[in-house]
Amino acid sequence: MTDYSSNHSDGLRPATLLVHQGRDRDSFTGAATVPIYTASTYHQHGGRDGAYDYARSGNPSREQVEDAIALLEGGTAGFAYASGMAAIAGALALLDSGDHLLASSDLYGGSYRYLSTVLPRQGITVDFVDTTDAAKFAAAIRPETRAIFIETPSNPLFRITSLRAMVELAQHHNLLTILDNTFMTPLLLRPLELGVDVVVHSATKFLGGHSDLLAGLAVTADADLARRLKHYQNAAGNVLAPFDAFLLSRGMKTLKIRLEAAQAGAGVLAERLSQHPAVQQVLYPGLTDFPHRARHFAQSSGPGAVLSFILREPARVAGLLKRVRLPIIAPSLGGVETILTHCWSMSHAAVPDDVKASIGLSAGLLRLSVGIEDVEDLWRDLEQSLEG
Ligand SMILES: *Cc1c(COP(=O)(O)O)cnc(C)c1O
């Protein structure tokens, strides 16, 4: 078992924690990286419990990233899962049949799918509300409401929810707050410090950072929630495999320099796109005219490396996707390579068209996750693909 009580950052800063991750060498050999422990089971000396018994319950390779995310988010316990959706499912397993959940109306498409099609079959009712409006949110709380599930900035419309306002309401009504911190990462937003109960990540995105694995993480600073998350992770078995834990650990070591480079590039591209005649609007918290700029920077230390832009003529999306050369065109984000997503047909394909329309997601919107290529090459490519 992991000794969570030893999980403290010793005042180390994020760049250091990312590299050293709580355990930065193998305790057996001193190897500079934690080995990929593939064993499914562990010898119990004399039949007695050792530190590990069965790999679903605990594995040193997986624990490295679990400890790392706990340290980075300022939590006491981290959990690693086979995907971001598995982490979200693990966090939402804190709810019981008969409970009511409130969620941001503008969510990652896969989260929308899970909340709208799976949870109801478990007897959990879900309402999607505009969490950027505290009054609307408060009006949606029912006696059986147990939790809220939030994304900020929301994806892909960059609506900003005030976490302080949400946490205050949630604490007043005794609701659990769960936040998907995939877009910001613990380097730009530390929700547990603002009173959020459980933070989840699709580590497939920025934390892994190389578009070469699926992984999910959950973190909490509450001992009882940690115990329940651990119980479900072990009982359901949706754990991160050791090889993928190794890839994630390796990716996390460079998160700070990757994110800083990508964020700088995103700032340049957001500015230039917003001045391009073919572009109607750019949604990016780093722009001076971004509507919720002050609210975003009251809780986050940077704008991130993802932006959305809306074409004046949605019919030109197809031509742009044909002409663009550098970005991969795919439903993901957070990689070293720039990723361009047509959310309507890719990341949010699981959201019915009328729901997309009702939340303001249009067919002319493109999401750009800026990578770490040379920004001038990216701009030249975007510019040529916006012509014609
Ligand atoms: C990708 C993503 C998820 C789902 O993560 P997977 O690793 O693909 O399962 C959840 N939330 C957000 C914000 C995402 O971008």
- CATH of residue 267's domain is 3.90.1150.10
Shared domain for 262 and 326, answered yes or no, is: yes
Do 150 and 97 sit in the same domain of this protein?
Answer: yes
Ligand 1 atom closest to residue 85's alpha carbon, by position in its atom list: 9
Q: For residue 177, what pLDDT band results from cuts at 50, 70 and 90?
A: very high
Pairing relationship of beta strands 125-129 and 100-104 according to DSSP bridges: parallel
Same domain, yes or no: 248 and 265:
no
Where is pLDDT greater, at 355 or 173? 173
Name the residue at shortest CA distance from atom 5 of ligand 1: 84
Asked if 79 and 217 touch (Cβ cutoff 8 Å), the reply is yes
Residues 312 and 367 in one domain: yes
Is the pLDDT score of 4 beyond 80?
A: no
Q: Examine the domain organization and report whether 105 and 230 are in the same domain.
A: yes
Q: Which domain holds residue 117?
A: 5-252
Identify the residue whose C-alpha is closest to ligand 1 atom 6: 84
Question: Are residues 243 and 330 located together in one domain of the fold?
Answer: no
How far apart CA 157 and CA 113 sit, in angstroms, is 18
Is residue 370 over pLDDT 90?
Answer: yes
Does residue 128 share a domain with residue 62? yes
* Residue 47 shares a structural domain with residue 142: yes
Q: What percent of the chain has pLDDT over 90?
A: 85
pLDDT of res. 351: 84
pTM attached to this predicted model: 0.95
- Whether 85 lines ligand 1, by a CB cut-off of 6 Å, is yes
What is the pLDDT averaged over residues 203-224?
98
**Ligand 1 centroid distance, CA of 31 (Å):** 32
Residues 283 and 320 in one domain: yes
Distance 104 CA to ligand 1 centre (A): 15
| % the chain with pLDDT above 70 | 98
182 close to ligand 1 (CB < 6 Angstrom)? yes
pLDDT score at 280: 96
Of 252, 274, 292, the position where a domain reaches its end is 252
Q: How many helices (H) and strands (E) does the chain have?
A: 14, 12
From the CA of 215, give the closest atom in ligand 1: 7
Q: How many CB atoms are located within 10 Å of the residue 117 CB?
A: 11
Which residue from 81, 114, 205 has its CB within 8 A of the most atoms of ligand 1, so it is best to mutate?
Answer: 205
Query: End of a domain among 233, 252, 271?
Result: 252
pLDDT for position 140: 97
Can you name the residues that pair with 178 across neighbouring β-strands? Answer: 149, 198
With a 6 A CB cut-off, is 221 part of the ligand 1 pocket?
A: no
- Quick one: 313 and 263 in the same domain? yes
245 and 260, same domain (yes or no): no
- For residue 153, cis peptide bond before it (omega within 30 degrees of 0): yes
- Report pLDDT for 26: 87
**pLDDT tens for each residue of 267-317:** 999 999 999 999 999 999 999 999 999 999 999 999 999 999 999 999 999
Per-residue confidence (pLDDT) for residue 3, from 0 to 100 = 37
Residue 345 dihedral angles phi and psi, to the nearest 5°: -105, -10
Q: Say yes or no to pLDDT of 386 above 70.
A: yes
Better-scored residue on pLDDT, 49 or 285 = 285
Residues 137 and 225 in one domain: yes
pLDDT at 8: 64
| Residues designated catalytic | 56, 108, 180, 205
CA of 216 to the centre of ligand 1 (A): 8
Q: Which atom of ligand 1 is nearest to the CA of 111?
A: 10
Mean predicted confidence (pLDDT) in 143-154: 97
What is the layout of strands, in order, in the sheet containing 365-369? 279-283, 306-311, 365-369, 339-341, 328-329
Q: Which of 318, 303, 300, 326 is nearest to 379 (CA)?
A: 326
Q: Which residues contact 174 (CB under 8 A, 6 or more apart)?
A: none
pLDDT above 60 for 6 = no
- Bridge partners of 127, per DSSP, are 102
Which ligand 1 atom is at minimum distance from the Cα of 155? Answer: 13
pLDDT band at residue 7, thresholds of 50, 70 and 90? low
Which of 252, 267, 289 is the last residue in one of the domains? 252
- Structural domain tally of the chain? 2
pLDDT at 23 over 70: yes
